[in-house]
């Protein structure tokens, strides 16, 4: 199948949607499909052979963060030419309401089209501005996917219609095979915990973790906090209270291999995010690496952690509660091991081999109609169950009902 994938966010900057697009594309290529990805990127950015850059992106406030997006008539021309050259069997547009390539692609696309919705938020100014421009083009979308129930609720509430829920994917075995790094491993007297995320983005929760740290250090004086993420490290270090300076270590941005080693090394991974999350891919990565996960009880995180059966949840925004549950976990090696093993088992359902099969099932029902897949037993369990019930994935993804695939399925 010839597949065109549109990513609205710049490949210059790491991000969950970019990683999702990259990993989906690489898995589809590995199993024999022809894939081209269109994404913003500076001219000097090294890109995989399957990615076509559209040039420099500009920062725009979006979903409680700052996204690097591309828009305008020059970019629109690049989108149209990419679509013409590609002659794709299906075009898969991510975040079709983001004021970027996605809207431009939705305007220009003809033929089978699938859209994936990633975000979960109350309608922002950017969304309010973009929605009237794209509303009339939503009828071009033949299949709708949401990466989580939270993202699906955003579609229903703020866009209209419905979507089938297919989660983000992870190459589980890559994280499971990661070798711990002695520099990041803890000891009973000096345990280590990891935080991953932009250090200057408050909703990722680093300030909350630092507020919990004095209480944690009272119970575990040797605790070491390893912070991996982009941002102004010098400014972050200056803001640290003097009594915390020897306990917090900023690693800067790290690549995927280092991230896997970090998660395989630490005694716990902490996700103290305060909002704006529709899934939580790094939670799955941590589980796959065997790290016990401690996370705020955002609805999306709770679903990924199977309601707390595959990790430890604490009330969002409560540093005292974070210190209490994390302190208890660090003091109980047997429980840490049990939580880590439960998470590792649970992470298997998010492996790309399963997730991409579900995405392909939506592609096929959109391209060929459900009759073309009749009798195929290689499709996912949920698709076979739908067919036995006389239900159509294409119709479900268009908004005629839904079935959640992922946590709890």
Both tokens of 284, joined, read 């799955």
CA 9 centroid distance within chain: 13
CA–CA separation, 254 vs 400, rounded Å? 42
| pLDDT at 379 (0 to 100) | 43
Long-range contacts of 314-319 (CB under 8 A, 24+ apart): 316/273, 316/274, 316/275, 317/208, 317/274, 319/208, 319/209, 319/211, 319/212, 319/215
**Whole-number pLDDT of residue 343:** 98
Domains 2-169 and 173-350 share a fold: yes
Looking at residue 302, what is its pLDDT? 95
How far, in Å, CA of 375 to CA of 235, rounded? 60
What is the third-level CATH fold of 173-350? Rossmann fold (3.40.50)
Model pLDDT, residue 283: 97
Question: Would you write out the chain's pLDDT as a tens digit for each of its 409 residues?
Answer: 999 999 998 888 778 899 999 999 999 999 999 999 999 988 888 899 999 998 776 655 555 555 555 666 788 899 999 999 999 999 999 998 877 889 899 999 999 999 999 987 655 555 566 566 666 688 889 999 999 888 898 888 877 889 999 999 999 999 999 999 999 999 999 999 999 999 989 999 999 999 999 999 999 999 999 999 999 999 999 999 999 999 999 999 999 999 999 999 999 999 999 988 888 899 999 999 999 999 999 999 999 999 999 999 999 999 999 999 999 999 999 999 999 999 999 999 999 999 999 999 999 999 986 334 333 444 444 444 445 555 554 455 554 433 334 433 3
Residue range 2-169, CATH number: 3.40.50.2000
Non-local CB neighbours of 87 within 8 Å, separated by 6+ positions: 2
Strands 312-314 and 293-296: parallel
CA distance 199 to 182: 24
Domain boundaries, the chain: 2-169, 173-350
pLDDT at 369: 60
Supply the pLDDT for residue 124: 52
N residues, the chain: 409
């Amino acid at each position: 199948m010839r597949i065109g994938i549109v990513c609205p966010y710049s490949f210059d900057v790491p991000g969950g949607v970019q990683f999702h697009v990259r990993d989906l594309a690489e898995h589809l290529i590995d199993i024999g499909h022809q894939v081209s990805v269109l994404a913003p990127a500076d001219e000097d950015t090294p890109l995989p052979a399957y990615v076509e850059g559209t040039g420099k992106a500009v920062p725009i406030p979006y979903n409680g963060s700052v996204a690097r997006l591309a828009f305008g008539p020059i970019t629109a021309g690049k989108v149209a030419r990419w679509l013409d050259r590609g002659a794709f069997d299906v075009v898969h547009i991510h975040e079709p309401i983001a004021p970027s390539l996605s809207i431009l692609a939705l305007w220009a696309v003809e033929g089978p089209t699938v859209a994936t919705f990633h975000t979960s938020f109350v309608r922002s100014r950017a969304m309010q501005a973009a929605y009237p421009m794209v509303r009339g083009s939503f009828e071009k979308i033949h299949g709708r996917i949401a990466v989580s129930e939270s993202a699906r609720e955003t579609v229903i509430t703020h866009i209209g219609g419905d979507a089938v829920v297919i989660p983000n994917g992870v190459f589980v075995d890559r994280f499971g095979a990661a070798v711990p790094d002695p520099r990041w491993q803890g000891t009973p007297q000096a345990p280590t915990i990891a935080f991953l995320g932009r250090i200057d983005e408050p909703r990722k929760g680093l300030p909350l973790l630092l507020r919990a740290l004095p209480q944690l250090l009272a119970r575990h004086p040797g605790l070491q906090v390893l912070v991996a993420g982009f941002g102004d490290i010098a400014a972050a270090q200056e803001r640290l209270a003097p009594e915390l300076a020897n306990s917090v270590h900023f690693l800067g941005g790290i690549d995927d291999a280092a991230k896997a080693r970090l998660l395989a090394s630490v005694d716990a991974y902490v996700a103290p995010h305060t909002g704006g999350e529709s899934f939580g891919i790094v939670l799955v990565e941590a589980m796959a690496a065997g790290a016990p996960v401690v996370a705020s009880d955002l609805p999306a995180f709770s679903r990924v952690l199977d309601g707390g059966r595959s990790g430890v949840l604490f009330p969002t925004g409560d540093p005292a509660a974070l210190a209490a549950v994390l302190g208890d976990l660090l003091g109980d090696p047997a429980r840490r091991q049990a939580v880590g093993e439960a998470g590792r088992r649970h992470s298997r359902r998010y492996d790309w081999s399963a997730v991409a099969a579900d995405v392909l099932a939506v592609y096929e029902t959109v391209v060929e109609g459900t009759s073309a897949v009749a009798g195929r037993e290689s499709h996912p369990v949920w698709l076979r169950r739908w067919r036995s019930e006389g239900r159509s994935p294409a119709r479900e993804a268009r908004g005629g009902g839904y079935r959640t695939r992922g946590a709890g399925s």
